[in-house]
Amino acid sequence: MKRTQIALADGRELIYFDERDDAVRDQPDRRDLPPPPPASQLRYDPLTDEWVAVAVHRQTRTFLPPADQCPLCPSRGERHSEIPAPDYDVVVFENRFPSLSQRVADEPAEITPFTPVRPGRGRCEVVCFTDDHNASFARLSPHRVRTVLDALADRTTALSALPGVEQVFPFENRGVEIGVTLHHPHGQIYAYPFVTPRTRTMLAAARRYADRTGGNLYADVLATERASGDRVVTSNEHWTAYVPAAARWPFEVHVAPHRPVPDIPALNDAERDAFGPLYLDLLRRFDGLFDLPMPYIAAWHQAPVRIDRELGHLHLQLFSIRRAKDKLKYLAGSESGMGVFINDIAPERAAELLRAA
């Protein structure tokens, strides 16, 4: 894989990850762009012990443009996009409308004595999986998935080294039902200046289990699921995809390596090669459930950068809000108000349907 780094017209970083060593990426960004916005503001919620990002500049971000104005397609002729080259394999660049960034202006004052405020220091990047606007991740080749995984490993390592970054979160949103604003196949990476609430909860459970048993909670749960097989959808030598016994979403699958590793950079070559065929099979099963493109979120759970890395176990959480061909799962009163999920489909039934798809 060839890695080429350039600067866009407004100073943002862009990196090409090419599968050919002879790829030439010397095309300049010919746009006239304003400077990137300053970092957002983080406000602390003392009632939940959580940070909330206030990023008012994102209100004007690009929203569902027509295909001939897609900012993630290559630049061709007189049409200039975020990617200056006329073609690409995988490309990563700083988000033009970031929730978090390293461009910190003045330190904000507190809102109230209970609400400390600090800059939204971190980084948000966009990951384009292919230059084909009409493709999807499920239609990529296993070789391309390996390139994407190597790019995510590269970015996880680089972002983990940034000042103040505590957790790196790669993810993909697919489908207007999920809330995507661009149809071009792409994902994102958030580098947070704190450990996220979901991860803190999982680490606390893992720490209690380790103190009690000396074991790794996720590794032991995975071993139990593999031994049972009731909720396993598919597996190979290095990975297993299974529906969690307490799945929150109608169709939710964890894709986990058999060897406990903290993050994507820790995967070896064999594990990286084995991921693509299994994950592509799983995505096609999702699309086959109702014979239509399945809206989903694919979320990589990685260990924090600096703390509790021994408690983590890398896994990809793939889930959809679609519960039937003509029905979506909305986060209504119980889920949104109290954080208590009510699932309409038994996890065992979801696994059965995915195995048959």
Residue 193 token pair: 């200046």
Under 8 Å between Cβ of 119 and 41: yes
Each residue's pLDDT expressed in tens, for the chain with a length of 357 residues: 999 999 999 999 999 999 999 999 999 999 999 999 998 999 999 999 999 999 888 988 888 899 999 999 999 999 999 999 999 999 999 999 999 999 987 776 778 999 999 999 999 999 999 999 999 999 999 999 999 999 999 999 999 999 999 999 999 999 999 999 999 999 999 999 999 999 999 999 999 999 999 999 999 999 999 999 999 999 999 999 999 999 999 999 999 999 999 999 999 999 999 999 999 999 999 999 999 999 999 999 999 999 999 999 999 999 999 999 999 999 999 999 999 999 999 999 999 999 999
Residue 183 token pair: 């149809």
Topology annotation, domain 198-356: HIT family, subunit A (3.30.428)
Backbone angles phi, psi at 252, to 5 degrees: -135, 130
In the chain, the largest separation of any two C-alpha atoms, in whole Å, equals 64
Give dist(CA 231, CA 322) in Å, integer.
19
Query: Can you give the residue ranges of every domain in the chain?
Result: 2-194, 198-356
Q: Which CATH class is domain 2-194?
A: alpha beta
Task: Please spell the DSSP secondary structure of 14-68, one letter per residue.
Answer: EEEEESSTT-----------PPPPPP-EEEEETTTTEEEEE-GGGGGS--S--GG
Q: Is 80 a catalytic residue?
A: no
Does 198-356 match 2-194 at the fold level? yes
For 110-157, the pLDDT digits (tens) are: 789 999 999 999 999 999 999 999 999 999 999 999 999 999 999 999
Write down the catalytic residue from 183, 186, 238, 254: 186
